[in-house]
Amino acid sequence: MKPTAKLSEAGQSLWLDDITRELLDNGTLARYIAELSVTGLTSNPSIFDHAIAHSEKYDQEIRRMTARGYASEALFFELALEDLGRAAEMFMPVHEATAGTDGWVSLEVSPLLAYETEETTAEAIRLSKRANRQNLFVKIPGTREGLPAIEEAIFNGVPVNVTLLFSSDQYAAAADAYMKGLERRISAGLAPDVRSVASLFISRWDRAVADKVPEPLRNTLGIAIGTLCYKSYRDILDSDRWQRLANRGASAQRLLYASTSVKDPKAPDTLYVKALASPNTVNTMPEGTLKAFADHGELGDLVPRDGGDALSALDQHRKAGIDIAALATRLQTEGAQAFVDSWKDLLKAIDTKSRALN
Q: Is 140 exposed, middle or buried (0-12, 13-18, 19+ CB in 10 A)?
A: buried
Residue 240's Cβ-side half-sphere holds a number of Cα atoms within 13 Å equal to 0
Q: How far is CA 234 from the centre of its chain?
A: 19
Known catalytic residues are 139
Q: Among residues 336, 281, 322, 12, which one has the least CA distance to residue 142?
A: 336
Distance CA 29, CA 57 (A): 16
Listed in sequence order, the residues at least 6 apart from 34 whose beta carbon sits closer than 8 Å to its beta carbon are none
Q: In the chain, count of helices (H) and strands (E)?
A: 16, 8
Contact in structure between 206 and 263 (CB atoms under 8 Å): yes
Contact in structure between 357 and 62 (CB atoms under 8 Å): yes
Q: How many CB atoms lie within 10 A of CB 14?
A: 23
Q: How far is CA 304 from the centre of its chain?
A: 22
Contact in structure between 21 and 58 (CB atoms under 8 Å): yes
Q: How many CB atoms lie within 10 A of CB 356?
A: 10
Distance CA 289, CA 63 (A): 34
Q: Among residues 75, 77, 79, 87, which one has the least CA distance to residue 23?
A: 87
